[in-house]
């Protein structure tokens, strides 16, 4: 455990802004951003490109300077800490792993322990431990070089590397953005499994709404440098703060796949004690239709809604959280980074209008 902060690792951003100097003057990349990341929670920062999500994350380990505001970790201002020490105490994962091509897999994993001066044998042992954790048998992989690995395997090494010195905090910058959709889904599930095991405080940047729904305990949706909404995945579905939120969620063209998923398939049996005034939706509605339907109801302060069966009896029940998880699970990850950032398919937009 890092000497900088044992135990809880609460990250707090207070009125954080970032200006970039450009030839045409100062550009505001992040504007008055405040949020908290609870210890042990995975916080997703999501938004279109240029929304300031990556810059916001990079200010936490001071890869970008903070123009205004304060970022604290367990109450300590990150600017008061030695920058090298700070970064070594925070795991960092980037797209394509950012592995050192001239280091073996084991040496890549053990980079931070090496910088911290661990003895060689302990480094090796730690690397093997972590390779096993991320599903790469050390016997087979430890002595290979990154270019001998597939993109997905490199990402796993990247995750193992971030965990090497057991930092309580990990920053992940679109870590799965450059792998194929199937591998990405697999890595996302693996991350969920690893996170359940290691319980790190994670800040996770992505532009993939499916990924955000699947992984995030909370999601901070950003646009043009500001926070549009900060809430749980269910909050974003249930109480979108503005039309932009709904639009952003609906923008994903792969949501179309959900047009063939019906509420009846998802609903569980109605538990006791569900009040009668919750919305009742027909089980024959597809998920996008359900979104439209729910928009007409008062959705505040309700955990879920009833689903009626073929005979019209409201015998099924579905929580907003379940609906969000289904969205995260079934949204095929955007094919590639670029296509995800390309203009939205007009047909696919507004499938979940307010």
Partner 1 sequence: MFYLFEQPERVFELTLEHIRLVGISVLAATLIGVPVGILCTRIRWLESPILNLSGILYTIPSLAFFAILIPYTGLGASTATIALTLYSLLAIIRNTIAGIDDVPRATLDAARGMGMTGRQRLFLVELPLAIPVIFAGIRVATMAAIGIAVIAAVIGAGGLGRLIFDGLRTLDADQVLAGAIMATVLALVGDWALKRLGDALRRDAGAAAEGR
- Applying CB under 8 A, the span of 90-98, 210-218, 251-259, 334-342 interacting with partner 1 comes to 90-98
- Which of 34/148 has CB closer to partner 1? 148
Interhelix angle 151-163/120-133, nearest 10 degrees: 130
- Which of 86/221 has CB closer to partner 1? 86
- How far apart are CB 96 and partner 1 at their closest, in Å? 6
Task: Write the secondary structure of 18-53 as one string of H (helix), E (strand) and C (coil).
Answer: EEEEECCEEEEEEEEEEEEECCCCEEEEECCCCCCH
152 Cβ contact partners less than 8 Å away, ≥ 6 residues apart: 179, 180, 183, 186, 187
- Which of 63/278 has CB closer to partner 1? 63
Of 49-78, which residues contact partner 1 (CB under 8 A)? Answer: 61, 63
Task: Print the binding letters for residues 145-164 with partner 1: x by CB under 8 A, - otherwise.
Answer: x-xx------------x---
How many Å apart are CA 147 and CA 140, to the nearest integer?
Answer: 15
- Applying CB under 8 A, the span of 103-111, 126-134, 224-232, 346-354 interacting with partner 1 comes to 103-111
Among 100, 120, 193, 313, binds partner 1 (CB under 8 A): 100
How many Å apart are CA 291 and CA 189, to the nearest integer?
Answer: 26
Of 212-271, which residues contact partner 1 (CB under 8 A)? Answer: none
**Contact call for residues 131 and 158 (beta carbons, < 8 A):** no
* Residues in binding contact with partner 1, number by CB under 8 A: 29
How many Å apart are CA 31 and CA 56, to the nearest integer?
Answer: 10
- How far apart are CB 92 and partner 1 at their closest, in Å? 4
Give yes or no for residue 115 binding partner 1 (CB under 8 A).
yes
How many Å apart are CA 100 and CA 46, to the nearest integer?
Answer: 27
Give yes or no for residue 101 binding partner 1 (CB under 8 A).
yes
- How far apart are CB 257 and partner 1 at their closest, in Å? 32
- Which of 17/61 has CB closer to partner 1? 61
- Applying CB under 8 A, the span of 122-130, 144-152, 211-219, 299-307 interacting with partner 1 comes to 144-152
Neighbours of 213 (CB within 10 A): 25
Neighbours of 347 (CB within 10 A): 9
Spell 177-207 as b/e; 16+ CB within 10 A means b.
bbbebebbbbbbebbeebbeeeebbbbbbbb
Give yes or no for residue 88 binding partner 1 (CB under 8 A).
yes
Give yes or no for residue 118 binding partner 1 (CB under 8 A).
no
**Chain residues that interact with partner 1, rule: CB under 8 A:** 61, 63, 84-89, 92, 94-104, 111-112, 115, 144-145, 147-148, 161, 171
């Amino acid at each position: 455990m890092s000497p900088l902060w044992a135990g809880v690792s609460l990250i707090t951003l207070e009125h954080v802004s970032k200006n970039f100097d450009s030839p045409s003057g100062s550009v505001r990349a992040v504007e008055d951003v405040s949020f908290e990341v609870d210890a042990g929670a995975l916080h997703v920062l999501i938004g279109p490109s240029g929304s300031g999500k990556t810059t916001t994350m990079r200010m936490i380990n001071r890869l970008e300077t903070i123009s205004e505001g304060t970022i604290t970790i367990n109450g300590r201002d990150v600017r008061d800490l030695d920058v090298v020490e700070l970064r070594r105490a925070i795991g960092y994962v980037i797209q394509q792993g950012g592995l050192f091509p001239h280091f073996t897999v084991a040496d890549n994993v053990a980079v931070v322990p090496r910088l911290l001066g661990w003895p060689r044998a302990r480094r090796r042992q730690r690397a093997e431990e972590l390779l096993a954790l991320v599903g790469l048998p050390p016997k087979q992989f430890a002595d290979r070089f990154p270019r001998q690995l597939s993109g997905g395997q490199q990402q796993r090494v990247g995750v193992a590397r971030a965990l090497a010195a057991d930092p309580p905090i990990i920053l992940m910058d679109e870590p799965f953005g450059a792998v194929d959709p199937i591998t990405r889904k697999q890595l996302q599930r693996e991350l969920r499994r690893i996170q359940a095991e290691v319980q790190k405080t994670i800040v996770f940047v992505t532009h993939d709404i499916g990924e955000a729904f699947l992984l995030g305990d909370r999601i901070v949706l950003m646009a043009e440098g500001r926070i549009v909404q900060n809430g749980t995945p269910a909050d974003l579905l249930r109480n979108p703060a503005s039309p932009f939120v709904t639009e952003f969620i609906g923008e994903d063209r792969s949501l179309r796949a959900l047009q063939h998923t019906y509420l009846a398939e998802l609903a569980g049996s109605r538990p006791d004690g569900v009040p009668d005034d919750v919305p009742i939706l027909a089980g024959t509605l597809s998920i996008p239709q359900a979104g439209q339907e729910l928009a007409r109801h008062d959705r505040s302060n309700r955990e879920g809604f009833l689903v009626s069966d073929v005979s019209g009896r409201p015998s099924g029940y579905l929580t907003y959280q379940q609906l969000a998880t289904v969205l995260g699970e079934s949204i095929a990850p955007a094919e590639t980074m670029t296509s995800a950032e390309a203009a939205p398919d007009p047909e696919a937009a507004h499938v979940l209008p307010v």
